[in-house]
Amino acid sequence: MTILRNQEFGGERPLYCSHGLELHGCTIHAGESAIKEGSDILAEGCVFEGKYPFWECDGVVIRHCTFTEGARAALWYARNYLMEDCLVEAPKMFRELNGLTIRNVRIPNAAETLWGCINVKVNDLEAEKGDYIFMRCSGLEIDNFRLQGNYSFQYCRDTVIRNSVLDTKDAFWQTENVTVYDSFINGEYLGWYSKNLRLVRCRIGGTQPLCYCENLVLEDCIFEDDADLAFEYSSVQATVKGHIASVKNPRSGSIRAGSIGEIITDANIKAPGDCKIICE
């Protein structure tokens, strides 16, 4: 094991292909691929300023570190990562990872972050400007996620989200086998073209939610006043607490709500067109 404390590195590949390395209080200045192709790495209390420092690594623990804006695309094509108590100012973080755990991390510029990752566990993540976050991921377990950013979770599979606040337009498009518990999802066009999307005790805001869905399930959810024109062309089993502003052309299944302001069925409804709508 090599232990480096309070040192500075820069340029191209200064610690390339390191195995069994501990960095404590070190700074990686501008340059590229500082620790690329390494394994069994611990970075604690470090600052990363250069691009691509952790590509193609296996077995990395990162604690109490800062990735500045210059450290873009820092963790790609890698395996078995733990990041906790970190600030990530760099965009395009986390791509093509297998086995990633994130705990207590803030990403203020999360554009195009977390793409193509599998087997990801998240606890206490805050992401801002997170357009297209979690694109084409699978095997996600997420708890206490605070997101501001659009087009999230597109094409994701086999995902469970709990206790989160998602301010995100066009979320969950073309997903499969996604379940969300006890969360607030606010944004237009939620869940279009999804398969097996299940929402449990969630609050839903934004126009035209949950359209073109296959095997959609809602359990004890609440709709905000602006969540209108819901369920168009969807096969759905839904129980909604309180009021829904409007429902349009659901394809099949049943919708049970306290009240519905307007039920729209017109010549464009898709077969079988036999959804049962019950107001209690």
**Hey, what domains does the chain have and what are their CATH numbers?**
1-87 (2.160.20)
Is the model's pTM score more than 0.75? Answer: yes
Rounded Cα distance between 199 and 234, Å, is 14
The answer to whether 156 touches 196, Cβ cutoff 8 Å, is no
pLDDT in tens, 158-182: 999 999 999 999 999 999 999 999 9
Strand partners, 115: 95, 135
The per-residue pLDDT for 191 is 98
Share of the chain above pLDDT 70, in %: 100
Burial of 259 (0-12, 13-18, 19+ CB in 10 A): exposed
Predicted confidence at residue 280, as pLDDT, reads 82
Q: Give the separation between CA 120 and CA 201, rounded to whole angstroms.
A: 23
